[in-house]
Chain A
């Protein structure tokens, strides 16, 4: 199985801050890397697909980069609704594994 790791596990930030979350795969997933935001009591929301594709309706402050084994999700200017937990997920090989999550807190 492809193991996914994320760093940091949590971070504290303020409104307007630029935030970067790193995701690493145990083997290459090419560009098949997606990012989700999960808030308590809500359905997960796809933010970025295939490393850098912005999902329809997602604000442009979200961006993704990377390839192979190392990926980054960047939020250019943190908004109140962005305080949540973020997960990366590889879609390259079964089982489709997620990272352990990064909690973004005030």
Chain B
């Protein structure tokens, strides 16, 4: 069974940093691209980053480009999101999501981790 679990969410001040982790199990991790998607309070879903199965290709939404960095460790079945220069509008539940593989389809999601940016 596919299982994704995010961790690392916390309360942080504006301008601060956080590193999110997503532990994956139940599938061949290095065969799938991975993504991060977030949902701000009372808002809809917002894709923010993609990483290919090898880690060689990454993409970001404009809202996080230059501040967030996605990476992965295929030996330990994990994907990460390093978040720097955090802003109040980065407050959200952050989900990691597996990519189905054809077009970008998020077929399995973790339960999410809450990031709150506030002074």
* Distance between Cα atoms of A95 and B95 in the complex (Å): 16
* Distance between Cα atoms of A55 and B100 in the complex (Å): 10
Contact check, B109 vs A43: say whether CB atoms are below 8 A apart: yes
Binds A, one of B23-31, B41-49, B68-76, B80-88: B41-49
Contact check, B106 vs A38: say whether CB atoms are below 8 A apart: no
What size tier do the contact residues of chain A reach?
Answer: 20 to 34
What size tier do the contact residues of chain B reach?
Answer: 20 to 34
What DSSP secondary structure best describes chain A's contact surface?
loop
Cβ contacts A to B, 20 pairs, < 8 Å: A36-B106, A38-B39, A38-B45, A43-B110, A43-B112, A44-B97, A44-B109, A45-B109, A49-B100, A49-B105, A50-B102, A50-B103, A87-B44, A87-B45, A89-B45, A94-B59, A96-B47, A98-B44, A100-B44, A101-B44
